[in-house]
Amino acid sequence: MDRREVAAVLAYIGHLDPRTIRTGTGDARDQIAQWQELLADVPFATDHGWDVRQAIRTHILDSPYPILPVDVARRWRAHRRDRLDRHTDPTPAADPDDPTAWRDELLRSRNAVATGIAAPSTHHQITSGGQPRDVEERLREIGSYIPPAVRTELARYRPTRAAREAAVAEGVPDTLGVRCDWCHAPVGSPCRQRRASPDGAARGNVVRATPHPSRVDLAAARMDRHRVA
């Protein structure tokens, strides 16, 4: 801060804490010189989180003692340390084979963060390259994670899944995408025959070649609801 800013700071402190006011011309001049000596490297305010007036208000609220210039300087140093602790050096754009340029760019970046000119760069911001995207969106960009030729070979070993994929591709209801209310087959599992045992209990151990009609109707109704939505 320069003399004009230091004088403004002292006037602000005197407004909040009259004990610090110096009435004599010589005393006021000496006070400004002392504060400027200790606050020469402390900015009045920055674009990223520092305002000397906030530091002054915090001290006056927290401490019964009049504020000293070293109190402001220490708060600024703590603020700098906190910013640098949250900062991760981004990869410099300089040629890595030029260590001097590489180092200079890193120092400029750190100094900009420390002095409040730039915001700290977190590790997430460096590695992500932007906002995280939905998995489905990324899969649509890169396509299927199973090559078509491999998928075709696997179809004969996974007839149930192959039938479901074919249904989705043709735009017809995926009957295995819903639970069967008749045989209680879960989603993804084929329907089973329900046979009554001599004691009257229902059993279903034989896999049906086709799903139960009620399951087909339920899948069709679900598809219709999705189309309307």
Please list the alpha-helical segments (H only) found in 21-51.
25-38
Q: Are 56 and 72 in contact (CB under 8 A)?
A: yes
Residue 51, pLDDT score: 92
Residue 125, pLDDT score: 45
Residue 101, pLDDT score: 86
Residue 137, pLDDT score: 64
Nearest C-alpha neighbor of 37 from the set 12, 87, 72, 79: 72
Cα dist from 114 to 76, 78, 126, whole Å: 10, 11, 18
Residue 134, pLDDT score: 61
Q: b vs e for 49-75, b when ≥16 Cβ sit within 10 Å of the residue's Cβ?
A: ebebeebbeebbeeeeeebebebbbeb
**How far apart are the C-alpha atoms of 130 and 128, rounded to whole Å?**
5
Nearest C-alpha neighbor of 204 from the set 191, 217, 193: 193
| pTM as predicted | 0.46
Residue 128, pLDDT score: 47
Residue 106, pLDDT score: 84
Residue 126, pLDDT score: 45
Q: Are 49 and 116 in contact (CB under 8 A)?
A: yes
Residue 116, pLDDT score: 77
In one-letter notation, the amino acid at residue 161 is R
Mean pLDDT by 10 residues, the chain (229 residues): 92 91 85 92 87 93 92 91 81 81 84 79 54 58 62 70 72 84 86 71 71 88 75
